[in-house]
Amino acid sequence: MKKFEDHTFVVCAYKESQFLEEAIKSLINQTMKSNIVISTSTPNDYIKNIAEKYKLKLYINNGEKGIGPDWNYAVSVAKTKYVTLAHQDDVYSEKYLEEIYNYINKNKDIIMLFTNHKEIRNGKIVKKNLNLKIKVIMTFPIRIFKKSKFIKKLILHFGNPISCPSVCLNTEIVGNRPFREDMNSNIDWGTWLDFANKKGSFIYLNEILTFHRVHSESATTKCIDSNKRVQEDYEMFCRMWPKWFAKFIMIFYKHAQDANLKG
């Protein structure tokens, strides 16, 4: 079986997620092979045993803790040009790696590549909801103007349509510590906006190649429950719009966010 030698899946493991093994199996069962490692800042026997079971190297972050530092540490342990941070709750289509490999071969100036996705709620795949439809519409301009800094920023102006687990990073452009560390819930959104100013392409694949799990124990849900998400959403909109318009957008954005949590 062909291997994408210059790519690494780094599985971000946290505490004792019941979904970790399912996520790892979806990476092992790819139609094209890749390097797979695990990174954690919460080492425990559960993670260690799964790493040993699948013969995966386990990296432990003994430095600064937090989502941003943890993600940056995870990227830094990869020794390849391309890196996908695989979130422990999510599942990857067996075609994910093969599809991104084909696009990478055609586009040498990629900053990052990301894909369409579906959600998993209560163990079932959600095929359609308003949130997913809106994200597809928001990403449409980048399919045509993938190099334009204006368009790369525009798709982020009304929210974050990019599914973080689906993103494959080019570390030769973004570096091996690419993520912002000044946020809790919008680390990815803020980082994508930083990337938009770089020279190169955002590549979007409309194929459904990742499945994002929405559940009560996820970091996103906890940030929303603690109101951190609302605060950081407003900060993000203020980076792109006048404050009065950012407040106006938040009226609708908060309703959409609450509706999405309910499914």
Domain with residue 120: its CATH number is 3.90.550.10
Nearest-angstrom CA–CA distance, 26 and 36: 11
Q: Between residues 223 and 33, which one has the greater pLDDT?
A: 33
pLDDT at 185: 87
Phi-psi region of 144 (alpha: psi -120 to 50; beta: other; left: phi over 0): alpha
Residue 128 domain flag: yes
Question: Looking at the predicted structure, is the pLDDT value of residue 170 above 60?
Answer: yes
231 assigned to some structural domain: no
Give dist(CA 178, CA 112) in Å, integer.
11
DSSP H helical segments within 86-217, as ranges? 96-106, 130-144, 149-154, 171-174, 187-195
Q: What is the pLDDT of residues 57-107, one digit of tens each?
A: 999 999 898 999 999 999 999 999 999 999 999 999 999 999 999 999 888
Provide the domain limits for residue 62: 3-215
211 falls within a domain: yes
> Residues 194-205: pLDDT tens digits?
999 999 999 999
Count of domains observed in the chain: 1
Percent of the chain residues past pLDDT 90, beyond the cut: 78
- In this prediction the pTM is 0.92
- The tens digit of pLDDT for each residue in 16-58 reads 999 999 999 999 999 999 999 999 999 999 999 999 999 999 9
